Amino acid sequence: MGMTVKGLLVAGTMILAGPLPAQEVDYADEDGITMSDHELWPTRIEYDSVGGQRQAYYFYDGRWWQRWETDFPQAEQNFAKRLNELTAVNVSRVPLRRRLTHPALGDSPLIFMSDVGYMELSKPEIDALRTYLANGGFLWVDDFWGDAEWASLERAMTQVLPGKRWITLPIEHPIFHTVFDIEVMPQIPARDFARWGQGTTEPSFEHRRPTGNMRTPSIRAYTDDDGRLMVIATHNTDIADGWERESYGEWYFENFSTKSYRVGINVIVYALSH
């Protein structure tokens, strides 16, 4: 509703102001954000989660968070900055947030979901995601650990693309080599769980149980009929936290953020070229 009202308000303002020269008004979304001259807008998907506190939402860093907004928007802002610095991709530093049912979802051919361990999609969202993927959209799911959280994603995706099978991408897959040659899939823990001399696996009590083995990070994927990746899930790792927390300490930056950026850049370039 708000979206429609804002759109009408902007249109009304234009009409009251009279006809405007075509090139004096920048391209803007319904939130009034100027979108001029950017090719890629980081787009975070807003979804519903089941359960109560510490399940559908949690308290951290002085505020309540819904699962979908984990690391948002700082992760996208930092990643966009690094993409602009390191690559030829022209990225907006203002991330968008979208429901899967948003009418302009197609304007973001790459969408990002995080912390999907308690996610539950509605029928319209499932249908919209199916259409989005069939059109060539690319979905990246990040920051979910262990068996139960994987099962949550798998349940949802089975409804979206029934009959599809997940494959685990070998390190030889092009996505590991589009820009950087990545030899090992990195495990990135949230900054709070990264301790020098300890492992990189997050503690199991922070995740939905049963967690099972959380030590092995991987990229699992759905491919289309031509073998192109359409959905990737960076499982048992928190790539976006490496972006979000890049300025939280030199040790974390050197050991985790740099690896997060390597993976992120490779994924972005893959999505833009396949």
Partner 1 sequence: MGFEWLFKYPREAYAQGELTFAGDFGVLWWGVAAVLLTLGVVFGRRVARFSMLRRATVYLLQLAAIAVLLTLIAEPVLEVTRLAPGANTVAVLVDSSRSMALPAGIDDETRMAVAKRLIGDEIEAASGGSRVALFHFNHTLRQANTVAELQAEGKRSRLLESLADLATHYDQGALAAVIVVTDGAHNGGTIGWETLTETGIPVHSVGIGPADIPGDVELAELVLPTRASPHTQVSARLVIRHSSPDGEQIRLRVLDGESVLAAESITLDPSSPRVATDIVFPGGGAGLKEITVALEAPPGDPLPGNNVQSALLDVERERYRVLYLEGEPRWEFKFIRRAAAEDDDIELVTWLRTTPRKTYRQGTSDPNELADGFPKSLEALYRYDMVVLGSLPATSLNDEQHDWLARFVAERGGGLLAMAGRHALDNGGWDVKPLAQALPVAIARPGEHLSYRRGNYRVHPTDVGLRSVLTDIGGLESREGAWETLPMLADHQNLGTPKPGATVILEAFGGIGIRGADVVVRGGSAKPLLVTQPYGYGRTAVLATASTWRWRMRTPPEDTRHSLFWRHLIRHFAGAALPRRSLSLAADGDALDVRVALKNPRFEPLTDTAVTVQVTAPDGESFDVALPRIAGESAFGETIPAANPGIYRVEMAGIAGPARSEGGRPGALAALARVGEANLEQFGATLNEPLLQRVAQATGGRYWRPDDLSELADALAFSSAGIHERQQLPLWNAPLLFLLLLFLKCTEWSLRRYWGGI
Comparison of 109 and 249: residue with beta carbon closer to partner 1: 109
Does the footprint of partner 1 cover residue 124 (CB under 8 A)?
A: no
Residue 137 sits in the site that holds partner 1 (CB under 8 A):
yes
Work out how close the CB of 12 gets to partner 1 at its nearest, in angstroms, rounded to a whole number.
10
Q: CB within 8 A of 155, min separation 6: which ones?
A: none
User: Minimum distance from CB of 24 to partner 1 (Å)?
Assistant: 8
C-alpha triplet 149, 154, 159: angle, nearest 5°: 135
* 80 in contact with partner 1 (CB under 8 A): no
Degrees (nearest 5) of the Cα angle 198, 68, 234? 50
Stretch that binds partner 1, among 57-65, 69-77, 146-154, 263-271 (CB under 8 A): 263-271
**Contacting residue, 55, 59, 64, 135, with partner 1 by CB under 8 A:** 135
User: Judged by CB under 8 A, which of 73, 109, 212, 249 binds partner 1?
Assistant: 109
Q: Tell me the closest approach of the beta carbon of residue 107 to partner 1, in angstroms.
A: 7
Which residue's CB is nearer to partner 1, number 29 or number 192? 29
CA distance 85 to 88: 8
String of b and e for 85-112 (b: at least 16 CB within 10 Å)?
eeeebebbbbbbbbbbebeebeebbbbb
Q: What is the distance between the alpha carbons of residues 66 and 54, in angstroms, rounded to a whole number?
A: 9
d(CA 240, CA 62): 20
**Among 1, 2, 4, 123, which residue interacts with partner 1 (rule: CB under 8 A)?**
4
Answer yes or no whether residue 251 interacts with partner 1 by CB under 8 A.
no
Nearer to partner 1, 263 or 268 (CB): 268
Contact status: 179 vs partner 1 (CB under 8 A): yes
| Number of amino acids touching partner 1 (CB under 8 A) | 51
Chain contacts with partner 1 (rule: CB under 8 A): 3-4, 7-8, 10-11, 14-15, 19-23, 25-30, 35-40, 86-90, 102-104, 106-107, 109, 131-132, 134-137, 178-179, 226, 268-269, 271-274
